[in-house]
Structure 1
């Protein structure tokens, strides 16, 4: 009894009520499966100019025409090579030439003229240094220093030049050196002693 159909409301015939409710349910499921959305969510249609892309087709045609022209030129050159007797034209008869050589030459001439003008100005200018005045000042300063100093300059050099050193002869394994002083050394020593 528990497996039999149990309607929600009291009915006279449960079997008929089950069939009617099943038919209603099937109609409902069919309507639900065939129902269309109320809101259009398909999105925008793609424009025709985006789908077709005429510019891309034009560029592709131009590229293909360039390739075709290059192929024809290459084929004609190959045909010329096949028809010739093996002579190769590999020498270029033109010389490389810069497009801005004239402008660079003008700039070089301008710079050389400016350098020449600077050189002329430098060489024609008189020196502002007075070398003779410097030498005269130096001689005055030396004379004053010699006048002020106790011992005159240059005396030590004179003494060193007058000294003579003699070495004794070497006897056996002994080596002895002796230094003898001359009369001029004695006189120099007397002049170097301080005055009292």
Structure 2
């Protein structure tokens, strides 16, 4: 028995034992099985060739690249022209600079023309108008008189001072006098100290002990004088605060006799 591979259309190859009574079994009834086998084989080969040579209906290939889009000759030409222009201008500048370096230069930057403004006359007229208005305002302010009378104000103030003096219980201006006295005492003490310091600077170093004794004595004396001055001021304040009682005949005024209730009202 021999072994062979029989290929049938539409079926895989199957290894079968070659037997004398077996033959090709077509799908449809035929008169000659041998011829039908050949025909089926050719049709199957033709089908496989068509399948292998079949092309897709959708075009998936990349598009065609054009040379003028990739190279861009126009852009290259513009860049070349721009570089040529820059080089030409640079060469011109180099020639000018070299000429100036070789020579003193022929540039004249002096202007021999007068500056003129189109609105100069109008500006002058406006300035004249403003100055006239300012002069008129100044004349009005200088000619106008004051509405208030200073003399009457001064007279009213003097009257109020008299009334205040008559109404006040203690004499006015006493505190200012006391402050002036204190300031004069301080100035006198400061002068004494300065004189003492100048005298001490002239004395020799050996007389240091004597100087200390004198200074202590002078300080005591200044204290005593200050105490005396303070006691004097205190006495004055006491006399100002509590004046001495007058005689009964002088204390009663004729106005009080005529109007006995006036003192009570005050």
TM-score normalised by length of structure 2:
0.38
Higher gyration radius (CA): 2
